[in-house]
């Protein structure tokens, strides 16, 4: 197990904005940063990072927490893995105590699959470099491609031996289970119980996640076996989803964010060769058709994509469909093709970095220009084909969510195709109207499933859960002001010299957390919401052990569920910044009451609400017709009502005291 000292050092050193900045493109918003949510599909940023508080909050999904929580949520790390990742990033030496057998057994299935995949990566890379077969076949192939030793090490390239089950036997001898080898697709298990290696006789390309975890492999065969696929990918598994992964994203993420552009290519070697040439902001779809999930992965880092084509006609047509998907996500697309006979791999190999950069800059066309020139070649002055291609162009433009961009592209299309803007605008309007009509039909179909009874009101306003709001306020006060001292005023009934009972104001200075605790203890109040109750007990315990409240230290011990609540409360001000109310001429009223008033009013309001609930429960539970039972009930309710009046008066006195 990792020692407490190491964990504390990681939390002290790691910067939430730096770590999250590797996964999400962040832009400064005052003293904070904001970006697109990595947990949901959105076009307006609702993801906030606070460098001062060292926390993050995703208002679209409700998730939030510390830098460790982010890695656990985004990369599905376990807590120790997140600590190890951060320690490695910040060059912190990890001190460990011996791991118990129970801890090893508790490693979940998903984690076991990651471990198997990581072992395979190491095995294939070692086989490439340190065995006769690996060097003679695999290493010589990579050297022929022009890859240096540094590049081979950087991308963890490897080789799987030609023998049927040598890898599987090695993995089993190291204690890895056959079940997990099969689940990640490294081993194929036959019905007769025999097994063999999926990637035998292939050079191996490890496929990594955004954080660098090994998810799967691509394997290329080097023989001329026509029955075998040239490239073979890992099958879909719990850790590898082909449509959600981009090859090279781990090595490219920082360069993409820095350059504010992503080059998109087709194959593994295209990515590797461009990296070696100095172009690092490049990823590949790994031979699959581009998917919305892959586009959104890039969208977190930049709004700009440049698609690099090798000029193959069939490939170009297929890639054009991918361009429409990119446009739908509201991104900017450019296209660059290479001279006949060249692809990104071969072109990068025979050109210097300076020449390569210059070529990409000079030959990257806006998608509308590229598509127009490509389709015009196909139309070959045929008026019918030209009409079809113009419609095709407008279909692409209709995918763009931004109306201003759509109009600019219509103007450009009009100029290139020599056709009036009005005709194009009319065609665009028809397409947009068609989309709206189809969306309307879909909405009506969905509404049928939720039809209401005719006599019921069409609009039902959701009732405010008062006790939930009050309990949430208590947690908010403990988080924001718990360690502060404040002056509290109490109103005590005392007898004067004439024997009359009068109220006297007594003042005391107390820590806010102590005031809240003693007040709830006095009334024997327990919070109703289970999560708030757990947080309340946890916070009181924390304050009893610590003089000051340290958010980073506190978040270390919280579950993701509790972290989401805590960060939601701590990021209230940032949430208001996202709305930008003032720009809409809406001015949010700020709290002008002091902490004492806020605490006192909330506690008294909770008491008042609970008394109201008691009265309602008593009235609903009464069913007896006995007169003495009714009399006893009415006496009890009357006593409660008197107490309620006193509490209402007390709220008034609190407000007048602090005005």
Contacts 24+ apart (CB under 8 A), 59-64: 59/575, 59/578, 61/37, 62/564, 62/568, 63/39, 63/560, 63/563, 63/564, 64/563, 64/564, 64/566, 64/567, 64/568, 64/571
What is the arithmetic mean of pLDDT over 451-480?
66
Return the structure tokens found at 595. 């902490």
pLDDT at 253 > cutoff 60? yes
Higher pLDDT, 263 or 599: 263
Tell me whether residue 385 is exposed, middle or buried, using C-beta atoms within 10 angstroms of its C-beta: 0 to 12, 13 to 18, 19 or more.
middle
pLDDT at 272 > cutoff 60? yes
Backbone angles phi, psi at 537, to 5 degrees: -60, -40
Return the structure tokens found at 452. 């209401």
List C-alpha distances in Å: 500 to 450, 491, 493, 546: 63, 15, 10, 45
pLDDT at 588: 39
User: Would the pTM of this model clear 0.75, i.e. be above it?
Assistant: no
pLDDT at 453 > cutoff 50? no
pLDDT at 589: 40
What is the arithmetic mean of pLDDT over 304-333?
79
Tell me whether residue 134 is exposed, middle or buried, using C-beta atoms within 10 angstroms of its C-beta: 0 to 12, 13 to 18, 19 or more.
buried
Q: What percent of the chain has pLDDT over 90?
A: 35
pLDDT at 104: 53
Return the structure tokens found at 21. 């900045």
What is the arithmetic mean of pLDDT over 364-389?
79
Give kind and range of the element (H or E) at residue 6.
helix 4-13
Listed in sequence order, the residues at least 6 apart from 165 whose beta carbon sits closer than 8 Å to its beta carbon are 187, 195, 196, 197
Contact 105, 138 (CB under 8 A): no
Using DSSP, state whether 428 is helix, strand or coil.
helix
What integer best gives the mean pLDDT of the chain? 82
Give kind and range of the element (H or E) at residue 304.
strand 304-309
Q: What is the rounded CA–CA span in Å between residue 301 and residue 259?
A: 10
pLDDT at 456 > cutoff 50? no
Q: Are strands 231-233 and 304-309 parallel, antiparallel or unpaired?
A: unpaired
Bridge partners (DSSP) of residue 504 are: 492
Q: What percent of the chain has pLDDT over 70?
A: 79
DSSP 37-88: -SSS--SS--EEEETTTTEEEETTT--EE-HHHHHHHHS---HHHHHHHHHH
Choose the weakest-confidence range: 172-176, 445-449, 601-605.
445-449
pLDDT at 26: 92
């Amino acid at each position: 197990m990792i020692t407490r000292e190491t964990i504390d050092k990681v939390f002290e050193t790691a910067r939430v904005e730096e770590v999250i900045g590797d996964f999400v493109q962040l832009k400064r918003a005052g003293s904070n940063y904001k970006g697109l949510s990595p947990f949901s599909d959105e076009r307006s940023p609702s993801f906030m990072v606070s460098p001062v508080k060292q926390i993050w909050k995703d208002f679209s999904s409700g998730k939030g927490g510390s830098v460790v929580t982010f890695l656990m949520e985004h990369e599905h790390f376990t807590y120790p893995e997140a600590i190890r990742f951060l320690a490695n990033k910040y060059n912190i030496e990890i001190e460990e105590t011996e791991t118990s057998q129970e801890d090893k057994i508790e490693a979940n299935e998903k984690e076991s699959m990651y471990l198997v995949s990581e072992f395979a990566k190491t095995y294939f890379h070692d086989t490439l470099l340190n065995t006769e077969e690996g060097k003679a076949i695999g290493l010589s192939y990579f050297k022929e491609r022009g890859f240096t030793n540094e590049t081979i090490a950087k991308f963890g390239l490897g080789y799987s031996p030609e023998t049927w089950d040598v890898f599987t036997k090695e993995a089993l001898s190291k204690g890895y289970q056959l079940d997990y080898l099969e689940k990640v697709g490294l081993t194929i298990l036959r019905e007769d119980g025999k097994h063999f290696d999926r990637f035998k006789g292939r050079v191996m390309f490890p496929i990594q996640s955004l954080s660098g975890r090994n998810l799967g492999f691509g394997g290329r065969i080097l023989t001329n076996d026509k029955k075998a696929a040239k490239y073979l990918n890992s099958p879909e598994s719990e850790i590898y989803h082909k449509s959600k992964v981009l090859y090279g994203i781990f090595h490219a993420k920082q360069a993409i964010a820095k350059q504010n552009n992503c080059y998109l290519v087709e194959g593994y070697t295209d990515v590797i060769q461009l990296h070696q040439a100095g172009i690092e902001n490049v990823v590949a779809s790994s031979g699959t058709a581009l998917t919305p999930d892959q586009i959104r992965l890039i969208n977190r880092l930049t709004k700009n994509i440049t698609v690099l084509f090798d000029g193959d006609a069939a490939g170009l047509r297929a890639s054009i469909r991918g361009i429409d998907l990119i446009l739908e996500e509201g991104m900017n697309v450019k296209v660059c093709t290479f001279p006949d006979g060249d692809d990104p791999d071969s072109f990068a190999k025979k050109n210097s970095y300076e020449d390569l950069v210059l070529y990409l800059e000079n030959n990257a066309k806006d998608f509308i220009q590229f598509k127009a020139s490509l389709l015009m070649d196909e139309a070959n002055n045929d008026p019918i084909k030209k009409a079809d291609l113009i419609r095709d162009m407008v279909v692409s433009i209709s995918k763009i969510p931004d109306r201003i961009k759509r109009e600019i592209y219509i103007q450009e299309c009009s100029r290139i195709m020599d056709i009036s803007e009005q005709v194009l605008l009319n065609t665009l309007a028809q397409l947009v109207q068609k989309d709206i009509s189809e969306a309307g039909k879909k909405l009506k179909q969905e509404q049928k499933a939720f039809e209401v009874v005719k006599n019921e009101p069409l609009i039902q306003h959701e009732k405010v859960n008062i006790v939930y709001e009050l309990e949430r306020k208590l947690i908010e006060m403990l988080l924001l002001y718990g360690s502060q001292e404040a002056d509290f005023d109490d109103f005590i009934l005392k007898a004067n010299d004439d024997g009359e009972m009068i109220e006297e104001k007594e003042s005391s200075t107390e820590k806010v957390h102590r005031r809240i605790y003693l007040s709830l203890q006095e009334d024997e109040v327990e919070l109703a919401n289970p999560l708030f109750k757990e947080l309340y007990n946890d916070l009181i315990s924390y304050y009893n052990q610590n003089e000051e409240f340290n958010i980073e230290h506190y978040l270390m011990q919280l579950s993701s569920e509790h972290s989401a609540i805590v960060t939601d409360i701590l990021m209230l001000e940032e949430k208001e910044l996202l709305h930008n109310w003032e720009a809409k001429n809406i001015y949010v009223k700020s709290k002008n009451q002091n902490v004492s008033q806020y605490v006192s009013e909330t506690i008294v309001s909770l008491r008042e609400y609970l008394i109201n609930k008691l009265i309602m429960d008593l009235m609903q539970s009464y069913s007896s017709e006995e007169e003495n039972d009714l009399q006893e009930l009415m006496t009890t309710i009357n006593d409660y009502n008197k107490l309620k009046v006193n509490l209402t008066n007390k709220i008034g006195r609190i407000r007048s005291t602090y005005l």
